[in-house]
Chains A and B, each alone.
Chain A
Amino acid sequence: MRHGRYPLIVSFLLPPLVLYGVFVLSPYLQAFQISTTDWLGYSAQADPVGMANFRTLLHDGYVWNALKNNAILLALVPVLTIALGLFFATMLTMGGRKGRAGVSGVRGTSIYRLVYFFPQVLSVVIIALLWKEIYHPNSGLLNGTLRALGLPAPTWLGDPRFAFWCVLAVMVWSNVGFYVVLFGAAMQAIPRDIYEAVMLDGASRAVMLRKITIPLLWDTVQVAWIYLAIAALDGFILVQLMTNGGPNFSSDVIGMRMYDTAFGSETKFGYASAIGVVMFFLTLSVAVLALRAARRDRIEYS
C-alpha cells in the first residue's frame, strides 16, 4: 500500500514549490536586500548603502503625503463600507414586514443582491475608467445631473480639494456590494428562533441589530475589516487610472509612489524597494492590529 506514495508527494509538490519559489519567494527576499542598495535601474551597479534609503524616506515629503492619504483611506473606507454593508444586508435579510414567519427580508431581495454585487466582478480598470468619465467636468454624468438641477458643477478629479475624495467614494462604491452579500450570508446562518424570541419580548429592530446581529456577526466583520484595511493601503489602480496621483499629488497613495519611483521617469529600484518594505510592514501591522482590536471588542460582547 505504501508503494507509490513518495513518487506522488514529490511529483505533486515539486512543481508548485519551484514555481512559488522562483516567482514569489525569491522576489520577496530580494526586495529586502535591494532596499538596502542604491541600485539605479538597468545597470548592474548596486552598492550597499545600509539604511540610507530608509533615512531618506523619513524626510521624503511626497512619501509622507501619500501615507497621509492612505491613512485617511484606512480610517474611512472600512468604516463606511462595513456600515453600509451591514445596513443593506440587514434590510435585505430582515427588513421585511412582520408576518407569521417572523423575520424576513424585503421584497425583491435577490434582485438587490444581484445588482449590488455586480461591481465586484468588474475589473478595477473598468471601474476606474468609467468613474473617470462620470466625474468628467463637461460630459460627465455627475455634472450633467448637477447642471440639470441648477447646482454648481466642480471639476472633481481636476480639483485638488475633491480629487482624493472622489477616489475614496469609488473605492467604497465598488466594495459595498460584496460585503452586503458576505454579511447577508452570515446573517442567514443565525437561527431565526433567536430573533423571534427577542421580538416576542418587544425588542425593536435597532436593538436586534445591535445586541444580536452584530455580536453574532463579529467574526465576519473582523475579517471584512482586515481585507478592507489592506485594500485601503493599496488603492493604486484606482488612483493611477483616475488621477495619476494628482492634481499636485493631492490624491497620491503609497503604491503610486512606489510604482512611480521604480517604473516612472526615474528607475530608483533601491529606493522603490525600500518603499515596498515599508508597505509590507504597514500591511502586516494593520492586519495584526485589526485582529487585536477586534478580539478585545469581542470579549466585551460575550
Chain B
Amino acid sequence: MTTVDDTAPATVAAPSRSKDRPLRRELGVANAFSHSFLVLWAAMTLLPLAWMFLSSLKSNSEILADPWGLPGALRFDNWTRAWTKAHIGQYFLNSAVVVAGSLTLTMLLGAAAAYVFARYEFRGRQVVYYLFVGGMMFPVFLALVPLFFVVRNAGLFGTWTGLILVYAAYSLPFTVFFLTAFFRTLPTSVAEAALIDGCGHFRLFFRVMLPMARPGLISVGIFNFLSHWNQFLLPQVLMQGDESKWVLAQGLNALAVNQGYAGDYAQLFAGLAIAVLPVLVVYVAFQRQIQAGLTAGQLK
C-alpha cells in the first residue's frame, strides 16, 4: 500500500534568481524540449476525448464533412436519441444494478475470507489460501467455455444474478489477496482487548475490524468497481440474447455495430459521451483516491 502524494513536488520548485545563469539557460532549453513532450502526450490524451464530445453535438453531415469542424448548432438531440432510442439509459441502469450487486457481494465475501485468512489459525489454512489466491494467475479465456455451461446449467444464463455471481467469483482472488495483507498490518492489541471485554467474534469483525480496514477496503473497492463497470468479455458470453438486460458495454458495442449499417455517427458519439461523462466527473472529483486505489494493487 502506497498512497500517492502528487502535489508536493510541484509546489517546491522555487527557482533561485540571478545566480548560475548559463546553467539555468541550458536547463531551460532542456526543459522546454522535454516539456513539449509532456504537452504533446497530454494533447494526445485529451484530443480524442474532446473530439468525441464535440462530434456528439454535431449533425451526421457535419461529422462526415470535416472532422475538425465545430458544430453549427449544439445538437443535444443526439444525446436524447442515444439515451432513449439506442437504450443507453436503460443499459446504464442495468450496469448500475449489476455492479451494485457484484461489488457488494465481492467486498462482503472478500473481506470475510481475508479476515479469516489473516487472523485465525486452522488446519489447512495455507492450502486453502493459495488455492484461492492462485485464481489470479489464470487467464479468463481458459475458463470461458466451461463457465458458459456452468452458468447455463445453474439456470443463470442471461440473468443479472448470474453476472453478479460470476463477477464476484472472479474478483475474489485479488480482493482476498489484497485484504489479507491489509488485515495482517492491523494491530492485534485492539482485537484482543475487545475479546477480553466480552466482544463476540462476529461483533469484533463488524464493529472493530471492518472500520479499521477502511482504507484497504476503499482501495480494493475502487479497483473492483472499475473492473466490474468496464467488464465486457463476461457479459458478452453470459448475457447473450435478451437485449433489455444488456450492460452498458454491450449497449455501446451494439450502437457501434448499428452505426455501421445506419451510418448514425452522431448517435454513437453521443452514446460514448454519455458513458464517459459520469466516469470523468467521478474521476476528477476523486482523482487521488482512484489513482492510489488502482496503483496500490500493483505496488504490493
Q: Do A and B come from one complex?
A: yes
Q: Is the interface of B mostly helix, strand, loop or mixed?
A: helix
Complex contact B294–A12 (CB within 8 A)? no
Would you list which residues of chain B between 252 and 298 have a CB under 8 Å from chain A? 252-253, 256, 265, 268-269, 272, 275-276, 279-280, 283-284, 287, 290-292, 294-295, 298
Complex contact A25–B135 (CB within 8 A)? yes
Give the Cβ gap from B30 to chain A, nearest Cβ, in Å.
8
Q: Is the interface of A mostly helix, strand, loop or mixed?
A: helix
Known A-B contacts A241-B256, A276-B142; the reply to A138 vs B64 at CB < 8 A is yes
Residues of B within 8 A of A234 (CB): 139, 141
Contact with B along A112-145 (1 / 0, CB 8 A): 1111111111111110011111100011110111
Contact with A along B160-182 (1 / 0, CB 8 A): 00000110111011001000000
Give the residue of B67, B143, B173, B202 whose beta carbon is less than 8 angstroms from that of A139.
Answer: B67
How far, in whole Å, are A234 and B138 apart by their CA atoms in the complex?
Answer: 12
Q: Which of the segments B74-82, B111-119, B213-221 contacts the partner chain? A: B111-119
Complex contact B142–A31 (CB within 8 A)? yes
Complex contact A182–B233 (CB within 8 A)? no
Residues of A within 8 A of B44 (CB): 173
Report the interface size class on chain B.
35 or more
Known A-B contacts A13-B128, A17-B132, A262-B144; the reply to A280 vs B295 at CB < 8 A is no
Known A-B contacts A112-B38, A116-B42; the reply to A241 vs B253 at CB < 8 A is yes
Is B73 part of the binding interface, using a Cβ–Cβ cutoff of 8 Å?
no
CB nearest to B150 among chain A residues: A27
Known A-B contacts A176-B41, A189-B2; the reply to A118 vs B280 at CB < 8 A is yes
How far, in whole Å, are A119 and B30 apart by their CA atoms in the complex?
Answer: 28
CB nearest to B295 among chain A residues: A182
Is B83 part of the binding interface, using a Cβ–Cβ cutoff of 8 Å?
no
Complex contact A25–B131 (CB within 8 A)? yes
How far, in whole Å, are A1 and B299 apart by their CA atoms in the complex?
Answer: 37
Would you list which residues of chain A between 166 and 195 have a CB under 8 Å from chain B? 173, 176-178, 181-182, 184-186, 188-189
Give the Cβ gap from A190 to chain B, nearest Cβ, in Å.
12
Is A86 part of the binding interface, using a Cβ–Cβ cutoff of 8 Å?
no
CB nearest to B170 among chain A residues: A24
Sorted nearest first, the 9 A-B pairs with minimum C-beta distance are: A144-B67, A23-B169, A123-B230, A30-B146, A27-B143, A27-B146, A12-B112, A109-B10, A16-B109
A residues sitting closer than 8 Å to B (CB atoms) are 1, 4-5, 7-9, 12-13, 15-17, 19-20, 22-28, 30-31, 34, 84, 87-88, 91-101, 103-110, 112-126, 129-134, 138-141, 143-145, 148, 173, 176-178, 181-182, 184-186, 188-189, 205, 220, 223-224, 227, 230, 233-234, 236-237, 241, 255, 258-259, 262-263, 269, 272-273, 275-277, 279-280, 283-284, 287
23 CB contacts below 8 A, A to B, read: A8-B116, A8-B201, A12-B112, A12-B113, A15-B109, A19-B169, A22-B150, A23-B165, A27-B142, A88-B37, A105-B9, A109-B7, A118-B45, A122-B276, A123-B232, A129-B253, A139-B64, A140-B67, A144-B68, A186-B2, A234-B139, A237-B232, A241-B256
B residues sitting closer than 8 Å to A (CB atoms) are 2, 4-10, 12-16, 23-24, 27-28, 30-31, 34-35, 37-38, 41-42, 44-49, 51-52, 55, 63-64, 66-68, 109-110, 112-113, 115-116, 120, 122, 128, 131-132, 135, 137-139, 141-148, 150-151, 154, 165-166, 168-170, 172-173, 176, 195-196, 200-202, 205, 226, 229-230, 232-233, 237, 248-249, 252-253, 256, 265, 268-269, 272, 275-276, 279-280, 283-284, 287, 290-292, 294-295, 298-299
